[in-house]
């Protein structure tokens, strides 16, 4: 399936979703739309993902496009009016449009009209399904090994760690599933529920339903975590994912040098306290152990220094650790098998 990725003015550094799609999704990306870097190629900016030309608008995309994916989100999750011509052009060409914004494309009169006229789908990834209920506390009894990622903060790399574990597991012949809980994961996987957009009472229920479903057909279920239990705003989302998924194993994600909560004036407790925090929190609902750690070393220059950082992190949490992007997931996957 051919997709174009909208990432105006933000590719690649502030286009987390676009880069995630380039790295992990099964889509063939035929173009990235970024009027700021038009004329370059993806490979000029991000070396280790599929390559594609960067162009200024949908008008410059010659290839057939099945879907336009909005790969960025401004603070607040609104729709930038400067993107309107691209979305309009995509729909007029018969392409679906996918977005993970708080603003729903389906609620936009012009887009809804064009989609109906041209037989296209508008997929608002962040709009949760309506048939979600209260968790029944049953995810722990599935006939599969459930692994949930947790973190010392948000934006430390939980989606990436989960996806790398899932892909590496499959490469090793393990029958693995990926449960997406956030917009980037959902866009990559093609399904999932944006837990942060689910009504609090049903958030754990949403996760439980996905785990039960995935465990029907797979031996290993990798659940994408969100936020952190020490986060002043998002700990409710984290709690719902940990208790809703009732994992056998937890994988602790951290970024080198992160010492205070992203965007908040609040120190993060010592990293060595986190395995105990998460195990004690999960404990009454499920007997979950922190089986390994994933360290994001993107700010570290040189592989040697990065290896040292990973070794120190492993020491700190007293469990095997890896950097999933830089070095892979082997030692952690070993502990899960």
**How many other C-beta atoms are found inside a 10 Å radius of the C-beta of residue 259?**
9
Q: Which of 134, 175, 303, 318 binds its own copies (CB under 8 A)?
A: 134
Among 81, 131, 259, 265, binds its own copies (CB under 8 A): 265
CB within 8 Å of 332: residues ≥ 6 apart: 165, 251, 291, 292, 293, 294, 320, 321, 322
Sheet holding 176-179, edge to edge: 176-179, 220-223, 145-151, 249-255, 289-296, 321-322
| 214: enclosing H helix or E strand | helix 200-217
Q: How far apart are CA 100 and CA 185, in angstroms?
A: 10
If the CB atoms of residues 82 and 260 are measured against its own copies, the closer one turns out to be 260
Q: Is 229 in the site for its own copies (CB under 8 A)?
A: yes
In angstroms, give the least distance from the CB of 73 to its own copies.
13
Strand, coil or helix: 30: strand
| Shortest distance (Å) from residue 200 CB to its own copies | 5
In degrees to the nearest 10, what's the CA dihedral of 80, 82, 85, 91? -20
Of 236 and 328, nearer to its own copies (C-beta) is 236
Which window, 9-17, 92-100, 229-237, 249-257, contacts its own copies (CB under 8 A)? 229-237
**Which CB atom, from 103 or from 327, has the smaller least distance to its own copies?**
103
CA proximity to 152, closest of 277, 302, 289: 277
Q: How many residues lie near its own copies (CB under 8 A)?
A: 42
Inter-CA distances, 265 with 229, 231, 232, 237, 262, Å = 16, 11, 10, 20, 8
- Please report whether residue 277 would count as binding its own copies according to CB under 8 A: yes
Decide: is 107 part of the binding site for its own copies (CB under 8 A): no
Applying CB under 8 A, does 205 fall inside the site for its own copies? yes
3-state DSSP assignment of residue 60: helix
Q: Based on CB atoms, which residue is closest to its own copies, 104 or 234?
A: 234
Nearer to its own copies by Cβ, of 119 and 270: the residue is: 270
Beta bridge partners of 29: 3
The interface with its own copies within residues 185-204 (CB under 8 A) comprises: 195-201, 203-204
> Of these, 22, 250, 261, 300, which contacts its own copies (CB under 8 A)?
261
- Work out whether 269 is an interface residue with its own copies (CB under 8 A): yes
Q: Of 16 and 197, which has the nearer Cβ to its own copies?
A: 197
Rank residues 118 and 262 by Cβ distance to its own copies and give the closer one: 262
The verdict on 236 binding its own copies (CB under 8 A) reads yes
146 binds its own copies (CB under 8 A): no
Distances (CA, A) of 323 to 162, 163, 220, 303, 314: 12, 13, 21, 10, 11
What residues make contact with its own copies under the rule CB under 8 A? 134-137, 195-201, 203-205, 229-240, 243-244, 246, 261, 264-269, 277, 280-281, 283-285
């Amino acid at each position: 399936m051919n997709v174009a990725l909208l990432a105006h003015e933000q590719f690649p550094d502030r286009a987390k979703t676009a880069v995630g799609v380039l790295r992990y999704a099964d889509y063939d990306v035929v173009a990235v739309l970024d009027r700021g870097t038009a004329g370059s190629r993806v490979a000029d900016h991000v070396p280790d993902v599929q390559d594609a030309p960067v162009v200024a608008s949908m008008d410059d995309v010659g290839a057939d496009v099945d879907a336009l994916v909005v790969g960025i989100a401004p603070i607040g999750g609104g729709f930038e009016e400067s993107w309107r011509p691209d979305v309009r052009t995509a729909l007029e060409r018969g392409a679906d449009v996918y977005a993970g914004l708080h603003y729903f494309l389906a609620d936009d009169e012009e887009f809804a009209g064009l989609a109906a006229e041209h037989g296209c789908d508008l997929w608002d990834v962040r709009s949760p399904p309506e048939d979600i209920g209260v968790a029944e506390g049953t995810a722990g009894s599935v006939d599969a090994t459930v692994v949930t990622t947790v973190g010392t903060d948000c934006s430390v790399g939980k989606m990436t760690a989960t996806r790398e574990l899932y892909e590496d597991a499959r490469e090793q012949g393990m029958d693995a599933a990926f449960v997406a809980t956030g917009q980037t994961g959902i866009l990559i996987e093609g399904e999932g529920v944006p837990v942060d957009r689910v009504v609090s009472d049903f958030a754990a229920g949403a996760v439980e339903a996905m785990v039960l479903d995935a465990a029907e057909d797979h031996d290993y279920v990798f659940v994408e975590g969100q936020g952190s239990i020490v986060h002043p705003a998002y700990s409710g989302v984290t709690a719902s994912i940990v208790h809703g998924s009732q994992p056998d194993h937890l994988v602790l994600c951290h970024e080198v040098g992160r010492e205070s909560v992203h965007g908040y004036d609040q120190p993060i407790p010592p990293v060595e306290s986190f395995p105990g925090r998460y195990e004690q929190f999960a404990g009454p609902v499920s007997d979950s152990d922190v089986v390994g750690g994933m360290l994001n070393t993107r700010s570290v220059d040189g592989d040697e220094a990065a290896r040292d950082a990973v070794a120190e992190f492993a020491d700190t949490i007293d469990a095997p650790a890896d950097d999933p992007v830089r070095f892979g997931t082997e030692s952690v996957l070993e502990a899960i098998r």
